[in-house]
Structure 1
């Protein structure tokens, strides 16, 4: 049997200990990287877009407050007529509330029931447009930044009712039938993508339910003012200190 001398044994043991130590250190210093997937990238992009949108909204709010400060300073110094300022503010508020006719770029959507022969005899939900379909389209347009929306020349506000009434849909208490013409003012590209891009509700209606949906981008759209009436029966102004 070959004899191992003591120095060689010491070097051998030291080498093993050194290897274990280096392996442990390497394990401690190597960071862990989570796998990057398309879903994680899209989630991150959505979060960034949401934050950027909030920043834009805050900047708009700051600009509005600065304008109000300048207006009050002008009134205090006597440079502005308070009647003219109040009229201007009233006009702005009427536009925001939907009580003024507005115009601007956007899209026009034409929606019609699936009247093909293959559709007859199929399930009810597969060939007719329902109030839920119109509501989803409206919500997608609002999510894409629509500033004003109308359906068959009925201005759509937050208080507008949209519900089925047999083969028709009631909007603001008035009955309208197909085809439905939805007009929306805003960024035409974003509004168009909200309806036609894959994975949107409008795209599903067209490709799965075979609902007839056509969109056209317009440079100038006119949307009428809200001409209905409403009274607040339950909501009342909040008092100071409440």
Structure 2
């Protein structure tokens, strides 16, 4: 009997030891589980914040793209308006140039019209001198060919200028100038000269009418603005 009690006591001792050890182990592991849970919560919170931030960034990027699109539209509008204003300013400058409000300079040509030096006996002198129609042909051809400004004997022609011949002189806006008649034009010489010299063109027509025509290229032609009032001067 004593042996049985001894064995039973030993069993209970071992069992108590195991229970005590299990409890102690569980007690020691519990804080680790708590730490792990807190760490997981922090990671979850961080991930949630990161997701929210990414969503916010995506939203901001979308808004930025929309703003950039509006900016591009505004820039295009401004560019178009700038081009319109530039064209208007350019047109105004052209009109000011045509009416003589501004001085102009540039490459161009010089055309000299002279009476014929030889008049056969018995011929009508009027058939061998420069007339208003001859000057008009040259001036019209120059403007049609793109001349920016034209002057006759230094008198600049304006949009409402008038001229006519009276014997050996020409009257331009009330001012008289003697022959020879020198017509200067500002424009591209490579365009103006061929336009005058085309077969059957102005130069050939004037030569047929016994007018001596000389065409010369000029690197620079200057024309001052017309400041005086023509009506007042007349």
User: Could you tell me the TM-score, scaled by structure 1's length?
Assistant: 0.55
* Deviation of 1:98 (Å): 1.5
Is 1:163 matched with 2:153?
no
Please name the residue that 1:106 is paired with: 108
Please name the residue that 2:177 is paired with: 176
Deviating runs (4+, > 4 A) in structure 1? 63-66, 68-72, 88-93
Q: Which has the larger radius of gyration?
A: 2
* Counterpart secondary structure, 2:218: strand
Distance 2:108 2:215 in 1: 10
Q: How many residues align?
A: 154
Distance 1:136 1:93, change over 3 A: closer
* Deviation of 1:209 (Å): 2.0
Is 1:209 matched with 2:209?
yes
Distance 1:183 1:209, change over 3 A: same
Gaps of 5+ in 1: 1-62, 73-84, 232-242
Deviations 1:7-66 (A, max 9, x none): xxxxxxxxxxxxxxxxxxxxxxxxxxxxxxxxxxxxxxxxxxxxxxxxxxxxxxxx9974
Distance 1:100 1:166, change over 3 A: same
| Contact persistence 1:153–1:224 (CA under 8 A) | no
Gaps of 5+ in 2: 1-78
- Bigger drift between 89-98 and 185-194 goes to 89-98
* Deviation of 1:138 (Å): 0.3
| Contact persistence 2:173–2:230 (CA under 8 A) | no
* Counterpart secondary structure, 1:110: strand
Please name the residue that 2:224 is paired with: 224
* Deviation of 1:196 (Å): 1.9
| Contact persistence 1:107–1:218 (CA under 8 A) | yes
Distance 2:142 2:94 in 1: 22
* Deviation of 1:69 (Å): 4.2
Please name the residue that 2:52 is paired with: none
User: Could you tell me the TM-score, scaled by structure 2's length?
Assistant: 0.57
Distance 1:204 1:91, change over 3 A: closer
Distance 1:220 1:92 in 2: 19
Q: 1:116 aligns with which of 115, 118, 122?
A: 118
* Deviation of 1:203 (Å): 1.6
Please name the residue that 1:28 is paired with: none
**Larger helix share, 1 or 2:** 2
* Counterpart secondary structure, 2:112: strand
